[in-house]
Structures are given as C-alpha cells and as structure tokens.
C-alpha cells in the first residue's frame, strides 16, 4: 500500500474512532428548556392586582382611574423557543366591571403599567374590543370579544413565525411575529373584580394543541411533496444506500420488487449517480458486516487477513483497536469475563497510554465492574449501534481500497446520508435566520431510525 492510501486509512480509522467515542452520548437529548410554570409576582404592577398563593390566578382589586392603572403580570420564564409551538391559556373567571382583560406576549423590558400590545415589543389580544394590539396605540380588527367563562389562548408558531390566539378551543387568528428576543406570556386586568386563571400546561388545554401541531407538520410535509424530483430518484437513493453498506440480500429483494411494479422501475445511471464505486467488493462487505453484527469478531479478523491484509497490518491502528474493543465487548456480552480479562491484557493493553484511545479503553474495561453492565453508564458499548460503527468502519476501509474510488467522503457516507447532511445544514441555516427558534433537526435520529434496522 502506498503512503497516500495509508494516510487515507488512518483518516478513516480516526473518523470511526471518534464515532465510537461520541456514541456514549448519542442517546442524550439536548437539555430541556425551562418553561413558564407560574406568574412572576416580583415583576408585576402589584398595586392594582392580587396574585393567588399558587401564582396561577390574578384579580384586579383597585379602581381604574387612569389608562396606566393596568394590572399586568408576566410568566416567571420566557416562552421556550426550541420547539414547534408554544402555547398557554387563561380562563376568565370574572370579566369585572369593563372586561378589559388582555392576553399576549411581552419582552423583558416591557412597562408593567401598560396593556400588552400598547408598547413596542409586545402583542396582545384584548377582550373588551376583540382587537389585536402590536406596539401601537391603535388596535387591528382581529376577533370576537371575550368575557366571563371564556377560555382564551395565546401561542407562538415558530415554524411560520406567527403569534396565534384561540377562544374556547378554536383558533381566532394569527399574525406575523415581528418581535425578536425572549418573550414572556403576559396577562393584564384593568377594571374592578376582573379575575383570570392561567394554565401553563399543568392541566389539559381547551385547545387541541397536539392536533394543531400535527396540522402544522402536515403543511410542511405537503410543501415538501410539491417539490418536483426526477423520476425514480428516491429508488436510486435507497439503492445506493444498500450498495454502499453492503446489504446485498436486501438489495436483491429491492431490485426484484422494482421490476414487479407497473411500469418496472429503471435503474439506469443518470443525474450524478455512479454505482461502480459502491458495487466494489459487495459480497465481501456483506459477509463482514454480517459477521460483525453477529459478534463473530475472530471470523471477521480472519476474513480481513485473508482478503485485505493491509487493512489490519498495523496492529496499533484505529481499525485494529476498534475490532479488538468489539471482541472484548462480545466476551463481556456472553459472560466470558475471565477470557475477556485475558484478551484485554494482551490486546487492549497495547493501547494503554495512547491519548486517542484512552477513553474508549477505560469504558471497555469498566464493563467488568458491573453485575449488569448493560444498565451501567458504559452500557452503550453493548448496544447494536456499537457493532454498526465497527461494521461501517470495515465497510469504509474496504471501499477505500478500490483503485477507482473518487474521494474520501464517498467511502464514509452514502448519497442518501450526504443529502441528509445537506438538509441538516439548510435547516440549521433557516433556524439561525429565525433567531435559533423552532424545532432542532437532528440528523442522527433520522439515520438511526433507518440504518439500524437489520437489512
């Protein structure tokens, strides 16, 4: 093997070594944002209202003499932004003397003597006139008025960047969200005996939020489905995926199914698809993947020594390290602990003291310390996903030996995965343009939901 191929193999091995390290935290979701749970009694116009001990209801107890004698209170936290929709509701227990109740969203610097929507960086739906106020003294025609026994909701649709409001479980309307920065759910009362109760999700909403979210996702899906694609492009993507990862049996079934459709699906090369690189050594790659998936690491090693000896000739390479780790893991899996200890002393000991291997070596050895290692902090090593990483590494190494291979990335990822990575970049860019608001697109979820099935 030439020096260029050796460097390529080292790069590939290090990539999958990093994947193996990262898999220990793959299942951990991003830390959840704090959501509003109660009203903020510290930052409110307390001279005009009384907040209940549970901080979930408010009553106007003063006499309204001036326009700025508003009883306003925000939630204790801003609306979380890393989701599709945020929503909360109020129940009008008593509309009081004038029914000047409002619901909306305001910024942290909002003047707490004004109705939401009367000041800049705020938006409010008002019960006495049904108008929507958005930072100006004059409201816009919006919806019906509301009074005692009505349930009113306010929400933010981060996908469409809109505020929306509901009345008694039905959407009243929506308006573009032109306010940046954190926004606090806000309610206001402005005449004697007005009293409202707030629901931040501690009980069931009158509005069917899940159905609304489902409809929003359906809109997004319909938009995607309107995009024109070349004929059979999805079939070619799936086929290239199966070829890339050596799923030969599934590929044969897939092709057979394509031929039985009316009209039969043609897999002629076009639109940039080139199968020659990924057809390379298909049967051998299939065999090795099956062996590793079944935990037969010795057999996989033997096949590699026979078919591709240069891949495993460097005993301290990342490739050999991951294979040795997997052999150790398989011994622990079947309860052969003494054999695992002996194997570790011979094979894993070679990698002690080497910085790039240290963390994974420690995690492997730590498996011996637990009576039920699969339930421990290093239990991720016993999951099928760990076998897949090793199988993918071997697959990429073999593809890299193809003299016609065009690039390094072609050995790592299928066309489908590269497309999904591009999709991720686009989603991140769009989310960034919206101030990092909305649901995060996580590529590993998409890949794991499909690739980890037993093809």
CB 183 within 8 A of CB 52: no
Is 197 strand, coil or helix?
strand
Q: Which residue reads 């004004």 in tokens?
A: 114
- Cα angle: 168, vertex 173, 179; to 5 degrees: 115
* H or E, element range at 243: helix 233-244
Q: Going from the N-terminus, what domains does the chain have, and what CATH number goes with each?
A: 3-26+232-413 (no CATH), 49-199 (2.60.120.920)
- Measured between alpha carbons, how far is 25 from 363 in angstroms, rounded to an integer? 13
* DSSP 8-state assignment for residue 147: -
- Measured between alpha carbons, how far is 318 from 315 in angstroms, rounded to an integer? 9
Beta-strand ranges (E) seen in 347-427 are: none
CB 101 within 8 A of CB 127: yes
Q: For residue 216, what are its two tokens?
A: 């929003």
- Measured between alpha carbons, how far is 7 from 222 in angstroms, rounded to an integer? 46
- Measured between alpha carbons, how far is 164 from 174 in angstroms, rounded to an integer? 4
* H or E, element range at 9: helix 3-22
Q: Which residue reads 């629901």 in tokens?
A: 199
**pLDDT of res. 394:** 96
Q: Which residue reads 């050796």 in tokens?
A: 6
- Measured between alpha carbons, how far is 143 from 133 in angstroms, rounded to an integer? 12
CB 333 within 8 A of CB 386: no
- Measured between alpha carbons, how far is 328 from 324 in angstroms, rounded to an integer? 6
- Measured between alpha carbons, how far is 19 from 452 in angstroms, rounded to an integer? 15
Find, among 239, 222, 379, 393, the residue nearest to 320 by Cα.
393
Q: Which pLDDT tens digits describe the chain residue by residue (455 residues)?
A: 454 555 555 667 778 888 887 776 654 455 578 999 999 988 776 678 899 999 999 999 887 666 678 999 999 999 999 999 999 999 999 999 999 999 999 999 998 888 999 999 999 999 999 999 998 878 999 999 999 999 999 999 999 999 999 999 999 999 999 998 899 999 999 999 999 999 999 999 999 999 999 999 898 888 878 888 777 888 888 999 999 999 999 999 998 888 887 677 765 555 455 566 678 999 999 999 999 999 999 999 999 999 999 999 998 899 999 999 999 999 999 999 999 999 999 999 999 989 899 999 999 999 999 999 999 999 999 999 999 999 999 999 999 999 887 777 788 889 888 888 888 888 888 878 878 888 876 666 545 544 444 44
Helix 297-307, helix 318-333: angle, nearest 10: 150
Among positive and negative, which fits the CA dihedral 438, 442, 443, 445?
negative
Cα torsion through 142, 144, 145, 149, rounded to 10? -130
Q: Which residue reads 């509701």 in tokens?
A: 89
CB 291 within 8 A of CB 452: no
**pLDDT of res. 28:** 45
CB 20 within 8 A of CB 36: no
What's the gap between Cα 408 and its chain centre? 27
* DSSP 8-state assignment for residue 265: P
CB 81 within 8 A of CB 432: no
Phi and psi at residue 229, in whole multiples of 5°? -125, 155
Q: For residue 223, what are its two tokens?
A: 């938009």
**pLDDT of res. 269:** 52
CB 397 within 8 A of CB 12: yes
Q: For residue 316, what are its two tokens?
A: 């301290």
């Amino acid at each position: 093997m030439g020096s260029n191929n050796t460097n390529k193999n080292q790069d590939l091995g290090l990539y999958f070594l990093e994947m193996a390290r990262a898999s220990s935290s793959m299942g951990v979701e991003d830390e959840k944002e704090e959501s509003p749970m109660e009203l903020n009694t510290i930052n409110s116009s307390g001279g005009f209202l009384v907040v209940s001990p549970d901080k979930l209801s408010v009553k106007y107890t003063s006499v309204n003499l001036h326009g700025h004698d508003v009883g306003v209170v925000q939630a204790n936290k801003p609306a979380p932004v890393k989701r599709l929709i945020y929503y909360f509701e109020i129940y009008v227990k008593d509309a009081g003397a004038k029914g000047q109740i409002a619901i909306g969203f305001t910024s942290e610097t909002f003047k707490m003597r004004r109705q939401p929507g009367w000041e800049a960086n705020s938006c409010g739906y008002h019960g006495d006139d049904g108008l929507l106020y958005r930072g100006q003294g004059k409201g816009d025609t919006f919806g019906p008025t509301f009074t005692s026994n009505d349930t009113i909701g306010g929400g933010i649709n981060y996908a469409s960047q809109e505020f929306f409001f509901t009345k008694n479980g039905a959407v009243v309307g929506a308006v573009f969200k032109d306010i940046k920065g954190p926004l606090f759910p806000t309610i206001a009362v402005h005449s004697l005996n007005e009293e409202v109760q707030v629901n931040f999700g501690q009980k069931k909403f009158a509005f069917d939020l899940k159905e609304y979210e489902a409809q929003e996702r359906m809109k997004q899906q319909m938009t995607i489905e309107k995009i024109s694609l070349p004929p059979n492009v999805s079939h070619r993507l799936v086929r290239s995926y199966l070829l890339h990862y050596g799923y030969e049996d599934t590929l044969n079934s897939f092709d057979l199914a394509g031929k039985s459709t009316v009209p039969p699906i043609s897999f002629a090369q076009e639109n940039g698809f080139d199968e020659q690189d990924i057809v390379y050594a298909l049967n051998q790659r299939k065999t090795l993947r099956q062996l590793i998936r079944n935990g037969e690491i010795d057999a996989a090693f033997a096949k590699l020594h026979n078919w591709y000896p240069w891949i495993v000739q460097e005993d301290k390479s990342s490739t050999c390290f991951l294979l040795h780790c997997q052999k150790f893991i398989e011994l622990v899996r079947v309860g052969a602990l003494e054999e695992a200890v002996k194997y570790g002393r011979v094979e894993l000991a070679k990698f002690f003291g080497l910085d790039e291997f240290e963390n994974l070596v420690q995690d492997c050895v730590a498996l011996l310390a637990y009576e039920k290692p699969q339930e421990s902090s290093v239990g991720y090593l016993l999951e099928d996903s760990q076998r897949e990483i090793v199988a993918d590494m071997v697959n990429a190494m073999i593809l890299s030996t193809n003299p016609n291979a065009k690039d390094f990335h072609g050995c790592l990822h299928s066309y489908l995965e590269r497309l999904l990575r591009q999709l991720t970049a686009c989603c991140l860019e769009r989310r960034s343009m919206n101030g990092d608001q909305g649901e995060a697109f996580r590529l590993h979820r998409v890949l794991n939901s499909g690739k980890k099935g037993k093809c």
